[in-house]
Structure 1
Amino acid sequence: MKSPLILPILLLGAVSALHLNNDALNLETPQTVEDLSPNLEGSGEQEGALALPDKVNQSEGEEKEASGCEDVLEDEEALGSDLEGGLDEDLQCPSEEDTVQIVGSPGCATCRYLLVRRPSRFSGAQHVCRRCYRGNLVSVHNFGFNNRIRSTVSGINQGQVWIGGTIRGWLRCKRFSWTDGSAWNFAFWAPGQPGGGKGRCVALCTRGGHWRRALCKRSLPFVCSY
């Protein structure tokens, strides 16, 4: 009486074993996973960039900061508290031959802008703008004015000039600001910038007018607004 049940049981066991083998093969087969991580590198022309984009994750970013800590510390020292501190009484103001007037912004009839061709560190340039012209390193808030500056500085052989942008804070807390305290509502970064740049001060390229991060201890010509 039991023999008729043996054949179905054997068939059921064979089918179950076949499914188990197939599942094992599927688990061992490697799967191709598309990399969905976003590309955060700058596109080169960014308007209204309010914060420094994170190009790497936090742990990698910390390693990058640590690897260049000597330059960063020197850069901090070059920028230092000079921007808020007292002015050097022995400061020599630029001669008229070392300066070039820049056509003002259409939105400000009383604003004046001056290119100083004598190179200086970022903090020294800010001192000159304050002491000699009662102003600040220039802030840039639209493409039209950025292009005016570019056309004026195009003959400078250093390749870059200081404008008033700086980076404050560390890692994910980095933020850009202007030395005159105005809003950071426009940016015109070069390809790969600002995430791939080095330095805590902002320079404008004489060719193309794009911006780059630069070490504040570099000596460059600069533009004052007053």
Structure 2
Amino acid sequence: MKLLLILPLLLLGTASSLHLKNEAFELEASEGEKGLALKLETPEEEDNLTIGNEEEDDEGEESEVAEDDDNLCPKEEDVVRMLGSPGCETCRFLIVNKPRKFKRAERICRRCYHGHLVSIHSSHTNHGIRCLASRINRSQIWIGARVRGRFFRKRFRWVDGSHWTFSYWAAGQPGNGGGRCVAFCTRGGHWRRAPCKRRLPFACSY
């Protein structure tokens, strides 16, 4: 008689245990599905990265920490001056033989000499800058030209706002790549595109 009473209780306990296990399994499965769904909805970190334009090499430069001597004007021993040039006796040029990025170079020309990075509008001026640049032992210097605009609207402009009336590009230049700023080659006087973040000596007109 006792055996008959115990048997239903054992069967009931086994059934309850199996029911609880099934509920736990379903709960784990639903949580796993939620986690999987969440993973699928959350974009991968790589998808959030934007591919930068190689020509936009000077973006964000303003936010960089200023160098210790950035607020100081160049020392006289770091400057090579030239008063007048062939075809322009009133022109005044100088070269700062202390490498700076393009934007910083333009700021120094404005702040220290009340001018701009040099704009070149004739072969006479180009020759004068070449003669001046030959007095420093550098292969390139910044001049005040850079690319403005995008795609089919890209144009070269002078930072002082003057018209683009002359150019003296090296072979294969300006091309489509190589940076948005223009460097002057001191040996031949030709111009090349260069990344604006490159540190070069620079020529100011004032």
TM-score (normalised: structure 1): 0.61
Radius of gyration: which is bigger? 2
Displacement of 1:151 in angstroms is 1.5
Displacement of 1:133 in angstroms is 0.5
Equivalent of residue 168 in structure 2, options 188, 198, 205: 188
Greater RCO between the two (CA within 8 Å, min separation 6)? 1
Counterpart CA distance in 2 for 1:215 and 1:132 is 24
1:126 is the counterpart of 2:106:
yes
**8 Å contact kept, 1:122–1:216:** yes
In the TM superposition, 1:142-181 aligns within 5 A as 142-181=122-161
More strand per residue: 1 or 2? Answer: 2
Which residue is equivalent to 1:112?
Answer: 92
Deviations 1:136-167 (A, max 9, x none): 00000011110111122124333100000010
Structure 1 pair 197–206 and aligned structure 2 pair: CA distance change class (3 A): farther
Please identify runs of 4+ aligned residues in structure 1 that moved more than 4 A. Answer: none
3-state DSSP of counterpart to 2:96: strand
Identity score, percent: 56
Which residue is equivalent to 1:77?
Answer: 60
Report the RMSD for the aligned CA atoms in angstroms.
2.2
Counterpart CA distance in 1 for 2:128 and 2:172 is 24
Gaps of 5+ in 1: 1-67, 82-88
3-state DSSP of counterpart to 2:90: coil
In the alignment of these two chains, the number of paired residues is 151
